[in-house]
Structure formats: C-alpha cells, structure tokens
Amino acid sequence: MNIIVCIKQVPDTTTKVRVGKDGKHIDPGGVKFIVNTYDDFAVEEAIRLKERFGGEVTVISMGPERVKEALRMCLAMGADKAIQLWDPAFEDSDPYTTALILSKAIQQLPYDIIFCGKQAIDRDTMSVPVYLAELLGLPQATLVVKLEVDPNARKFIAYRDIEGAKEVIEGLLPAVISTQWKLNEPRYPTLPNIMKAKKKELKELNAAALGLDSAQVGEKGSRVKVLSMELPPPRSKGKILKGDPREVCRELVRLLREEAKVI
Amino acid sequence: MTFQLTEEQRMIQMTVREFARKEIEPIAGKWDRESLFPEETISKMAEMGLLGMMVPSEYGGAGLDTVSYSLAMQEIAYACASTSVIMGVNNLVCEPLLKFGTEAQKQKYLVPLAQGKFIGSFALTEPGAGSDAANQKTSALLKDNFYILNGTKMFITSGSHAKVFITTAVTDKAARHHGISAFIVEKGMPGFSIGKIEDKMGLRASDTTELIFENCRVPSENLLGKEGEGFKIMMAALDGGRIGIASQSVGIAQACLDAATRYAKKREAFGQPIAEFQGIRWMIADMATEIEAARLLTLQAALLKDRGLPFTKEASMAKLFASEMVNRVAYKALQIHGGYGYLKDFPVERYYRDARVTTIYEGTSEIQRNVIAKLVLSTED
Amino acid sequence: MSGNIWVIAEQRESELKKVTYELIGEGRRLADEVGSKLEVVLLGKNITHLAESIGFYGADKVFVADHEALEKYTTDGYAKVITNLIKAQQPAIVLFAATTMGRDFAPRVAARVGAGLSVDCIELKLDENKSLLCKRPVYAGKALVWEAILTRPQMASLRPNVFRPARRDESHKAEVEKVPVEFAPGEIRTTVKEIIKGATGKVGLTEASIVVSGGRGLKGPENFYLVENLAEVLGAAVGASRAVVDAGWKEHAYQVGQTGKVVTPNLYIACGISGAIQHLAGMGSSKYIVAINKDPDANIFNVCNYGIVGDVFEILPILTEEFKKLLAES
Ligand SMILES: Cc1cc2nc3c(=O)[nH]c(=O)nc-3n(C[C@H](O)[C@H](O)[C@H](O)COP(=O)(O)OP(=O)(O)OC[C@H]3O[C@@H](n4cnc5c(N)ncnc54)[C@H](O)[C@@H]3O)c2cc1C
C-alpha cells in the first residue's frame, strides 16, 4: 500500500502562551516544537498498515526549515520518505490553503490511504483533513478510534468517536482518515532508528514545484484571517468554603442556584 | 565555545524525554513507595536501545556516543533515579565485556545484555572493601577448568534481578591489586546465591543486594581478560560509569529545579507568590546556574571520551561536582516547598533521598578528589 | 442573493440537539442586527414535523430536506444537500454546530461554495460593513483569536453550550419549504453500519451542560460511584482526570483535558482533582467551576468559582443529598 501521512509541527503542550509582538501569533520565544500529538497516531497507524500489508509510508509536512526535525522523528518511527513543503509564500496559510498545498503534493504521488491527526493542537480547527479529502475528491472518516482496512477489496471500516457513541462507517479506498486518541499506542522511535532516519530521503518542494501561484496560498489565498490574539481573562478569585460539611454543601447549592443560576 | 548537540543527539534527547515523562514519571512515586522494580519499563527501554547504548550494533547495541548516553541518562533520572541506576549499571557492565571479552563471551553475554534480554550487575564492593576496593577478600582458585569462588560482595545494584554478574576475586593474594581477576558469573551457577536485599533510604525501586559465593564453580572460559587484569578492567569501566552518575545527578537536579519553580509560582505567602521573594529567587538562580555548570562538565567529559582522549580526570570532576551539586539543589528545592516538601505527597521528598547516594557510589567524593588531585599533581611543571 | 442568516440544524434520531437552539438564538440576533431573515435548514428522515417547533424558536423560514438517505448523518449526504441549497439561495451567513457532525461536513460545504469558515467559535460580531467576525479559542483555550472571514458566504461553527439558546414562543411561526433531494447511486460514498451508544453514558461529555468529574482523590475505581451518583441527580455527564484514566479506573472516553475531551459546560464539578494544567486545558472555559478537594493549595482552587475544602468521601454524599432536595422542591 502507498500510505501518506500529513503531519504538523506544533508548540509543545507545555508551552507558555504569550501574545507575540504582531498581536496575531504567539510569542515564539523559547517555544519547543513537537510533532502534533494526534499526528503520532496517524504515523503509527500508517506504519502498522505497512508492516501488515507491505508498501511505503510517506510523511508530508508544510512548514519552515524546523519541520525537518519533526519529519525526521516520523522517519525514526518507521516512515520511509518525507517531504517538506515550504515557500515564503506559504506563510500564514489558513486551513483551506494548507489543505490545498498538501493536496498538490499528494497529487504527485501514488496513494491508497491518507492519514491526518484529527486536529492540530495549535489552531485546533479539525478542518484540514476534511478540506484535503474534498480537494482530492475522496471520502473521509474523521475522529477515527479504530480502523479496519481490506486492501484487496479496497475497503475500510472506521469507528468514529461521536458525542456519547461510536459511529461505524464503511467506505472505499482511497480515503482520508483523521486519527483520534485511542486508535493505537504510538511507538517511541528506537535509538538506532533515530540514527537511520538521517539516511532516509527528505525532499523539499516549494510553490513552483507544486504548481501553485503565490496568490493562491499563504495569507493571500486564505479565506479566513486572524485579526488579533488575546489571552483569556483571568478568572476572578473564587469563593472558598470551609467548615462543617453540611453547612458548606447547603451554601454551595444555594450559590449555584441563586448567584450562578446554573441549577 | 558553546556545546552544540547534533540533530540526532537532540532527537534522542527529545525521544527519551517524552518516554520518561509519559511512561516513567507518573508511576515513579508508586515504585518508590512500594519498592517495586520497574520490570516492564526496563523491557520497554531495552526495545528502544537504552540498555546497551554505546555497544556497536553488531553486538546488539545502539552504537551511540557517550554524549547521547549522558543525555538519555539525564532524562531517565529526571523521571526516576532508580530506573536510571538500573540503566546505568547495565550500560556499565557492557563496557568491559566489549573491551576485554572474547568473541564467545561477547556473543553469549554482551549481545543479550545490550539488547536488554536480561540485565547485568557489576560486583566489586565487599563488606570490608569499598573505597579501598583493592583490599578485597573474595578468592578464586583454579581447579579442573573451574574457578572456585569464595566470599561476599556487598551493595550490588540489580543483584536480585540480574542474570549476569561481572565479579572480581583475588587469584593471587601476593600481587595485591595486580592479583585481582574479573569473572562473568551467571545466576544459577552452583554455589552462587543472593544474600540480603538492603533496605535503603532512596533508590527504592532499584534493588541493592549481597552476593554470596560458597565454593561457586565458574567455568574457566568465564574469566574476563587475563588473570590479574580484574582491577584494571573494573577501574576503566568506572571511569565511564562516573559520567553516568554525573548525568544522573544532573537529571535529578533538573527535576528538583522544575518542581521548585512550579511550586514557588503557585504557593503564596504574605500575599504574593513565594517566587516573588528575593530569598527564593536567589536560590532558584543558584540552582539553575549550578545545574548548568554540572551539565557542561558532564558533557565535556563525555565528549573527551567520544574523541578517544584521556577523560579520567574530567569524569571524576564531573561526578564530584554534579553529585555534590544535586545534594545542594535538592536541599534548596525541598526548602522552597516548606513543610509540604517534607511530605511524601510531593516528589521533591523522593528526589532528596535519591540524590543522597550520588556522592557515595562509583567512588565517594573523597575518592574522586583523590583521583583528581593525583592527576593534577602528577602533571610536570 | 438572499443575504439571509442561515442555521444548519442538528438532529439525531429525529430529535433536535440543544445546540440547534443556541444556533437559532445567535442567528436571530445577527439577523435582527443585519435586518435580514433567519432561515433554518433541517435534514433527516421523517423530520418535517420538527419544522414547526423550530418556528417557535424564532426562525422565519425552515428548509426541510426529508429523505430516506438522510436518515443517518453522512458527510456526503449532508454536504451535497446543503451545498446545492446555498448555491440556489445565496445566504449571507451560515452557522453550523461545532459538534463532531458540524466539524465533519462544514469544511466540505465551505470548500465547494468558496466560503470562508471559522470553526468552534465562542463569540460572533458584525463589523461596520456587517461582515462577520468570529472569536475562537486556540492552543486548547490558552489564547483566543478574532478571525475575519474574507470570502462569502461567511460561515462559522459555534461551540455548544456557549451561546444563549433561543426562547420558545408558540406565537412565532415559520414558513416551511420542502427541499427536493436526490442522490445518484454511490454518490454517498460512506455508509453508516452501526451507532454504538453508551461509551460515556446518556449525555455526551462534550455536549452536557453539567459535568461531574472525579480525580485521584477518589483513591480507587470502587469509589467512583460517589461521582456517578451526583451526576445522576444533576442529569450530568461523568468525566475523569488523566490520572484516573492512566490508572485504568476509567476509559479514555471519560478523560477531560489536554489529551482528552475539551468540555465547556455551564457547570463543571471537579471532585478530588488537583487541577494540573493539562486538566485545566480541557475544562478551563466552563462557565462555572466548582472544586472539591482536601488540599487547600490544590491548583483547582485557583480557577474555580466556588470551592469546598473537604474530603470528597464526606462531601459528595451530602452534596448529592442537598441537590436532590433542591430539585425535588422545584
Ligand atoms: C545504593 C548503592 C548501590 C551500589 N551499587 C554498587 C554496585 O552495583 N557495585 C559495586 O561494586 N558497588 C556498589 N555500591 C558500593 C559503593 O560503590 C561503595 O559504597 C562506595 O565505593 C564506598 O564504599 P564503602 O561504602 O565501603 O565506604 P568506605 O570506603 O568505608 O568509606 C567510608 C568513608 O570514608 C571515606 N574514605 C575512604 N577512603 C578514604 C580516603 N582514602 N581518603 C578520604 N576519605 C576516605 C569515604 O569517602 C567515606 O566517606 C553501591 C552502594 C550503594 C549505596
């Protein structure tokens, strides 16, 4: 199988978010980057499919020079090839244009299945996998927690995590699958595989190589634009109740009804 | 000069950090409280290649450099010092096998040790011979292709979990330390048994045991190196081992600093977070500075070793400074936690106990000073 | 171009989801501000009867796509019907629910009609040109951004439990228009084989308006019933901290936090949860937070509106009883 995984490099979950000088992005100072949490499940699932059915896993990421490290991490996990998509014109792409850039790269490759993490933990949109499926003319299964693939029948069955239930859907390959926590347990790269990752192919493609015009991508091509970023207001100090358990419980119930009006 | 890690070294650091923080840190407290050996985690670490990091791949190792080893030890120790000492000793045991082992010994012992199929112990100390390791009493007598070992070893890390023990014994008493030889002893060899399992202040998830040799029959092909080379073999291994303990110290110290800063920002006194008090801020500044100094000394020693340059003095300096540093840092970190630091509820209490041993094992601070002084004074003027 | 405000209703099993009323409430507000109509699109099978009640909540018109093939939600089914309708009617603004359903098909529709889409919004406003601006959380709620939508129609999906739901007024009536629906064989590329309910009890964690969560302070899975009893009395969903899930007391489906579910109920009750930053990321934007913890220094007390310093084993049974009394009275 030809398996493609789209990954994003994002600030570490422990990043202290501060608004940057431009008032639109976070302050990049001291930020450590990691492979997006949900993309680990995508890479793992791709490698497992390859181990089971044979084939090749290609990881793709749009982003500046630093994303090479994220791509190498995926190679160390067991992906075979990596492609970095970057061009200064790609800066500030919205989810739609990001998917457009990814779709152009994918169209140059053979593919049977495409994995994405369900969302990137920076912009949290969950939209890129859906746009990507649309742009490639493929069906999709988002929020997948269990996946069965039959490469001969070219079919998949996906268990999706929806509110209070799992939805089981069936469809034909190729398809875009967005991966949710619980799908698998991503492996840690072994130390020898980290060393081998350096020798694997990592290709770079820019706008021209993807046949994209700079007006189609980045901020220019975007349909949504960030105007400003702010930090949530600090919560005012709460009321702390101490003392006789019966008393404090009564008081809490009263406050919730009369002050907060939530009961 | 700045110490610049290579891309691979950074990736190793990131990978081991993620592993340690996700798989080890959340349960390290439980292991400590219940003195549980982290069996499952050790086998996961084996799969990742952490147990034979500097062993070439043809012998089942990860084929990495000492700098990477130091980075990995720091990350594991950050999460759990006990786990890091198990890892450290296993890596330590691989080294003499690689350098002095015959091809057959390497195939039989080094490969599975490096792959972590089983783990190893390093048995030098005796009840009456610690710092003065040359004064050991365990004897080995060659008889019909077997060495017959008699004696007791003390303080042996992983004693009750290891399968293979690199052990020293005296083959020629008159020759003093030139009369000590090294042997590969396997669990189950007749006359070999595990004695007391020590009840320790810290490192409670790592077992430290007595080993008892009562007419223990070790096949002569299990002699490591030549007769009389034992002391040299063990001392050479300890040079590298000291980089491991220095790294462990840096890892524990970093955990202390992170816990202390987190706490200081959250805890309020006199109407403000305690992190606002100069007295606390200066402690944090000193801690951070000392950790950085120790880290650089440690990586410097590792780099010298990787370049094939003499590193005994630097390894001793790193071990001395880092181990004393982590005790100062743990003290301050606990102090910043106030009364809560004295409770088992916060990990700093464990760090404090775990840190204590670093100035003792693999050569006490006093012995490190002896080594350093000797090397400093021996330079010609 | 109609220039109207649209709401895409969400129903499952012929039952309108609560978020639909929230969308209508916000849609009505925007329509009144722009001076246009509020129109609701309803899809499903045997759901035409719901159109009337949608009218009670303030819609001027309801487009009903009632068809066999729309019985269960599919990406392709919904995307096609809504895309065609938008192309025909040209609304100015389209609002979706930022539920697993809305987030699954809204980008498809947006891509097909060339619309800009802002997702998971918590506040909407119109600028001087009546152009839509959306506020949405990023970095798991650690920051908020205002986004402008540059292409039309302007689309936004709204986070459940944030916007005020519309009020029912039976004197308000909506015009109902049937939408012809047709699918070629194979046009819907995925089929729903099964919906397995119950991973998280009756109310979905992310849509519940009250969530009661338990943490390590409960000491063991055998004590979780304390949290469940309270949740039952309140009709709340049950959640858990990561520590509890890691320890295997609860399945991951219950986990609230950075690596679990992000919830924004009106009321979040944290029982025996210390309030690690990772947990706060999952519930920090709840409207009201109640914390019950033995440790007066627990971080959770820094973010709660109301806190009880006390032992969960003592407090929870009493609190459950008190709520029971109160709810029996009203
Ligand atoms: C948890 C733990 C794990 C261990 N694991 C192992 C292991 O796996 N394998 C192994 O072989 N050993 C191990 N050891 C033993 C350790 O290496 C010894 O404890 C250490 O070398 C000190 O020896 P000792 O305890 O006999 O102290 P002693 O040598 O009796 O020292 C007592 C004191 O005298 C000081 N002193 C001694 N000589 C001098 C001198 N010349 N000048 C100044 N001061 C001096 C020492 O510094 C110390 O302060 C372990 C110990 C511990 C506590």
Task: Quick: pLDDT tens for C297-314.
Answer: 899 998 899 999 999 999
Q: Which two tokens stand for residue C10?
A: 């969400």
Atom of ligand 1 nearest to the CA of B200: 1
DSSP A94-127: -HHHHHHHHHHHHHTS--SEEEEES--TTT----
Which CATH number is B304's domain given?
1.20.140.10
Cα C71 to ligand 1 centroid, rounded to whole Å: 76
Domains identified in chain C and CATH numbers? 5-178 (3.40.50.620), 205-329 (3.40.50.1220)
* B244/chain C closest Cα distance in angstroms: 31
Judge whether C1 is closer than 8 Å to chain A, CB to CB: no
Averaged pLDDT, B93-104: 97
Q: Which residue lies with its CA nearest to atom 45 of ligand 1?
A: B366
Q: Which of B86, B118, B150 is the last residue of a domain?
A: B118
pLDDT of residue A235: 67
Taking contacts as CB-CB distances below 8 angstroms, the residues of chain C near B26 are 243, 246
CB C62, CB C55: distance < 8 Å = yes
What is the Cα–Cα distance from C272 to C219, expressed in whole angstroms? Answer: 9
Is B62 part of any domain?
yes
Residues B239 and B290 in one domain: yes
In this prediction, residue B2 carries a pLDDT of 65
Whether B208 is covered by a domain: the verdict is yes
Ligand 1 centre to CA of A216 (Å) is 70
Mean per-residue pLDDT, A151-174? 94
Cβ of A130 within 8 Å of Cβ of C195? The answer is no
In whole angstroms, what is the distance from residue B56 CA to residue B99 CA?
12
Q: How far is the CA of B361 from the centre of ligand 1 (A)?
A: 6
Cβ–Cβ gap B12/A34 under 8 Å: no
Pairing of strands A165-172, C190-197: antiparallel
Pocket mutation for ligand 1, best pick of B364, B368, B371, B372 (most atoms within 8 Å of C-beta): B364
Would B1 be classed as within a structural domain?
A: no
Residue of B26, B267, B340 with shortest CB distance to C246: B26
Strand partners, C64: C42, C178
> By CB neighbour count within 10 A (0-12 exposed, 13-18 middle, 19+ buried), where does A156 fall?
buried
Which among B205, B229, B253 is the end of a domain?
B229
Tokens encoding C274 = 């210390």
List the domain range (segments joined by +) for residue B214.
121-229
Q: Would B2 be classed as within a structural domain?
A: no
Interface test with C, best of B30, B266, B345 (most C CBs within 10 A): B266
Active site residue B362: yes
Whole-angstrom CA distances from B104 to A244, B109, C141, C291 are: 73, 8, 60, 64
CB atoms within 10 A of CB A83: 22
Whether residue B329 lies inside any domain: the answer is: yes
Task: Find out whether the peptide bond into A232 is cis, omega within 30 degrees of 0.
Answer: no
Whether B104 and B214 map to the same domain: the answer is no
**Nearest CA owner, ligand 1 atom 17:** B361
Q: Is C203's pLDDT higher than 90?
A: no
Q: What is the pTM of this model?
A: 0.86
Q: Are residues B247 and B337 in the same domain?
A: yes
CA–CA distance, C299 with C132 (Å, rounded to integer)? 37
Residue B340 and residue B252 share a domain: yes
Domain boundary among B118, B147, B167: B118
pLDDT at A234: 74
B103 shares its domain with B13: yes
* pLDDT tens, residue by residue, A119-146: 999 999 999 999 999 999 999 999 999 9
Q: Which of residues 288-347 of B touch C (CB under 8 A)?
A: 340
> Does C117 touch chain A if contact means CB atoms closer than 8 Å?
yes
CA-to-CA separations, A230 to A23, A127, B225, C118, C125, in angstroms, rounded: 8, 22, 67, 17, 16
B32 and B111, same domain (yes or no): yes
- Shortest CA distance to C161 belongs to which of C213, C237, C94, C109? C237
Assigned architecture for domain A2-221: 3-Layer(aba) Sandwich (3.40)
Domain ranges within chain A, ordered by starting residue: 2-221, 235-263
Q: What angle do CA B56, B60, B63 make, to 5 degrees?
A: 30
Q: Which of C318 and B262 is assigned the larger pLDDT?
A: C318
Do residues B253 and B241 share a domain? yes
B106 and B171 fall within a common domain: no
Do both B224 and B293 map to the same domain?
no
B265 domain-assigned: yes
Total domains present in chain B: 3
ipTM > 0.85 (yes/no) = yes
The average confidence (pLDDT) of chain B is 96
pLDDT bin (cut points 50, 70, 90) of residue A90 is very high
Contact C139 A140 (CB under 8 A): no
- Report the atom number in ligand 1 closest to the C-alpha of B128: 26
Per the CB < 8 Å rule, is B266 touching C302? Answer: yes
Mean pLDDT for all residues in chain C = 93
pLDDT band at residue B170 using 50, 70 and 90 as cut-offs: very high
Distance B133 CA to ligand 1 centre (A): 9
Q: What percent of chain A has pLDDT over 70?
A: 100
Higher per-residue confidence, C140 vs B127 = B127
Over residues B309-326, mean pLDDT:
97
The pLDDT value recorded for residue C41 is: 98
Q: In this prediction, what percent of chain B has a pLDDT beyond 90?
A: 92
Q: Nearest by CB to C117, which of A172, A224, A262?
A: A224
